[in-house]
Amino acid sequence: MAGCRSWVFFLTVCAVCVFGASAEIKLTIPVGRLFTYELMRETFQNEFEPLSKLYAGRLYDDPMIFKCNRQNYPDLPEWLRFTQRHPNDNGFLYGTPTSQGKSIIEIYAVNKRSYETTRHILVIKITAEKMLPYQAEFFIKLREIEKVLPSPVQDEIKQDLQKLWDTEALEIVNITNALDRGGRVPLPIAGHFEGVYVKVGSEEYFSDCLLRVLKPEHQRQCTAGAGAKVKVPGGCNFCSIPSNCITWCKTELFDLTKQEPAPPPPTMGSGILEAGGNFDPPESPPSRDYFPDYIVTVVVPLILAIILCLLLAYIMYGRREGVEKRNARTNQIQLYHHHTIHENTDELRNMAGHRGVPQPLSTLPMFNSRTLERAPPQSDSPSIPLIMAQHDPYSETLPRK
């Protein structure tokens, strides 16, 4: 079923591309300013078949997923990002362009109920503009990226930062998810958030409250591990909404007027050597002696392996007691029983090869092989040994019946 759905989406996208059924939206943004575009589900819902026709006039919201990419490319430009938490939520395109130019973004909306697809074209024209010289980045711990990108929330954060900066000439430069900066994924329970970084800039210099972040005393407190509990003194904690409060220890200031300009890029030549020039190849690297590496990697392990083999051979063969020494320590009657078992085994094997021979004496009732006297039927007598044979060197010592 999943494969069929993927094919339906692929064929629908191809049909949209062939027939050109798309809406085009044009936007102009400056370099170095935050760009945010919200993909409203209601906008795309109008291009699908109304669900109310199928359910007797009742209104439902279709779940949708958005797929965005640069035209003729598989992904988005490096400065642009897309996020959508759930198919029932709106999507957001956001980012900060770094150079002027033009980007054409294709937005595909897939209706998860009917798997219909529609396409919009977003044309973003990026114009050149002077970078704001003074910028500051703040970390908001109790926020997530989807909750910060809407314009009303950005205005709330901007108002608090205007009070902190003591100026109204303030613009949001960038908003970044903490997970994209190496943050850890929070637990899926209430009260745990991913966190976002908000970067703002202004033409005016930093306020006294912001400059206190650079003081050694404040840095010592953050280094000591106070973390989010550190507060800048002097009534500088402007925070009208608790979820918009910043973390002071992660606040950074950037003065672009003191930064050295980036070096110009190298000039790319034609790659063709000028007439009359001589090619001077680079020198070959010096020769290297690999004999010490051979000693360490081959000879030393081989010597250790030989020593271990000799030690194992000595343990297995050099310290064996031998058969004679073992027999000298073993009880004679136990050895006699052992040999009797082997003789009986050989006799049974020979009998199996010659079925016509008489019944072996070892299979008859108990008898004395020397006197040919048979024992009485009482085999439970303790005076009669358990095993008797034809050639018994100890039979003379046994009592006769």
pLDDT digits (tens, 9 = 90+) for 143-187: 999 999 999 999 999 999 999 998 999 999 999 999 998 888 888
Final residue before a domain boundary, out of 76, 95, 127: 127
User: For residue 157, what are the CA distances in angstroms to 164, 235, 243?
Assistant: 11, 18, 10
Give, for 37, the enclosing helix (H) or strand (E): strand 35-39
Range name among 84-88, 170-174, 262-266, 373-377 with the lowest pLDDT average? 373-377
Range name among 6-20, 60-74, 229-243, 288-302 with the lowest pLDDT average? 6-20
Structure token pair of residue 400: 């006769």
Residue 302 resides in a domain: no
Same domain, 48 and 65: yes
Same domain, 54 and 118: yes
Find the domain containing 6 and state its range: 2-127
Dump pLDDT digits (tens) for 161-172. 999 998 999 999
Same domain, 112 and 153: no
Final residue before a domain boundary, out of 207, 234, 255: 255
CB-neighbour burial class of residue 32 (10 A; exposed 0-12, middle 13-18, buried 19+): buried
Higher pLDDT, 330 or 67: 67
- Confidence at 280, pLDDT banded by 50, 70, 90: confident
Higher pLDDT, 45 or 20: 45
Same domain, 6 and 31: yes
Among the ranges 197-201, 234-238, 288-292, which has the highest mean pLDDT value? 197-201
Residue 208 resides in a domain: yes
Nearest to 158 by CA among 246, 54, 31: 246
Same domain, 22 and 7: yes
Same domain, 11 and 123: yes
Among the ranges 56-70, 146-160, 373-387, which has the highest mean pLDDT value? 146-160
pLDDT at 121: 93
User: For residue 285, what are the CA distances in angstroms to 27, 75, 82, 288, 289?
Assistant: 56, 42, 49, 9, 13
pLDDT at 14 over 80: no
- Confidence at 357, pLDDT banded by 50, 70, 90: low
Share the mean pLDDT of the chain. Answer: 79
Same domain, 17 and 116: yes
Same domain, 58 and 151: no
Residue 268 resides in a domain: no
CB-neighbour burial class of residue 358 (10 A; exposed 0-12, middle 13-18, buried 19+): exposed
Give, for 164, the enclosing helix (H) or strand (E): helix 151-165
Give the rounded percent of residues in the chain with a pLDDT score beyond 90.
Answer: 37
Nearest to 200 by CA among 169, 235, 228: 169
> End-to-end CA distance of the chain, in Å?
93
Residue 192 resides in a domain: yes
Strand ranges across the sheet with 196-202 = 171-177, 196-202, 134-140, 246-255
pLDDT at 224: 80
Alpha-carbon dihedral angle through residues 105, 109, 110, 111, given to the nearest 10 degrees: 180
Cα(150)–Cα(273) distance, integer angstroms: 56
Residue 14 resides in a domain: yes
Final residue before a domain boundary, out of 211, 229, 255: 255
Structure token pair of residue 56: 């007797």
CATH of the domain at 25: 2.60.40.10
Please answer whether residues 114 and 49 qualify as being in contact, where contact means their C-beta atoms are separated by less than 8 angstroms: yes
Give, for 334, the enclosing helix (H) or strand (E): helix 332-353
pTM of the model: 0.59
Give, for 152, the enclosing helix (H) or strand (E): helix 151-165
Residue 263 resides in a domain: no
Average pLDDT over residues 241-264: 85
Residue 324 resides in a domain: no
Same domain, 122 and 184: no
Residue 228 resides in a domain: yes
Cα(319)–Cα(277) distance, integer angstroms: 80
Same domain, 120 and 145: no
Count structural domains, the chain.
2
Same domain, 107 and 73: yes
Same domain, 34 and 94: yes
Average pLDDT over residues 276-281: 72
